[in-house]
């Protein structure tokens, strides 16, 4: 079974195009390292919850949009190998170099983690 990295973040709504370009560049690095699929999803129906919700989780402000993203890997070993390469590659690969491709959002409020699927259904 595959392995999934999941992300939730708040992006200034005015930075949608900048974010899209940043994500496209960075995600091409992941694809080159063996990722099977990447999805960046711009929130358009993210409702407020009574106790918690996506917006509260990333402390989204009124001028920010919640983004839900994931990277699908063939397995955890491929994902871990990419992670090990990232620090060194960030010095020479401008797609993931923070000076050449800066994050257009507050990375301190990003939530992310790795997940092992327990159910997979395809059409």
pLDDT tens track for 38-63? 999 999 999 999 999 999 999 999 99
C-alpha–C-alpha distance, residues 89 and 83, integer Å: 10
| 3-state helix/strand/coil string of 27-65 | HHHHHHCCCCEEEEEECCCCCCCCCCCHHHHCCCCCCEE
Confidence tier at 87 by pLDDT (50, 70, 90):
confident
Choosing among 3.40.50.150, 3.30.70.100, 2.40.50.100, 3.60.110.10, the CATH entry for 3-115 is: 3.30.70.100
pTM for the full model? 0.92
């Amino acid at each position: 079974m595959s392995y999934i990295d999941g992300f939730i973040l708040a992006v200034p709504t005015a930075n949608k195009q900048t974010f899209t370009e940043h994500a496209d560049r960075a995600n091409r690095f992941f694809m080159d390292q063996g990722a099977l699929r990447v999805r960046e999803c711009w929130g358009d129906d993210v409702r407020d919850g009574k106790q918690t919700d996506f917006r509260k989780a990333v402390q989204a402000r009124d001028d920010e949009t919640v983004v839900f993203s994931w990277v699908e890997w063939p397995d955890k070993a491929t994902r871990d190998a990419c992670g090990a390469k990232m620090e060194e590659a960030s010095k020479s690969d401008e797609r993931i170099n923070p000076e050449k491709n800066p994050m257009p959002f507050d990375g301190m409020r990003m939530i992310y983690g790795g997940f092992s699927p327990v159910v997979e259904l395809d059409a």
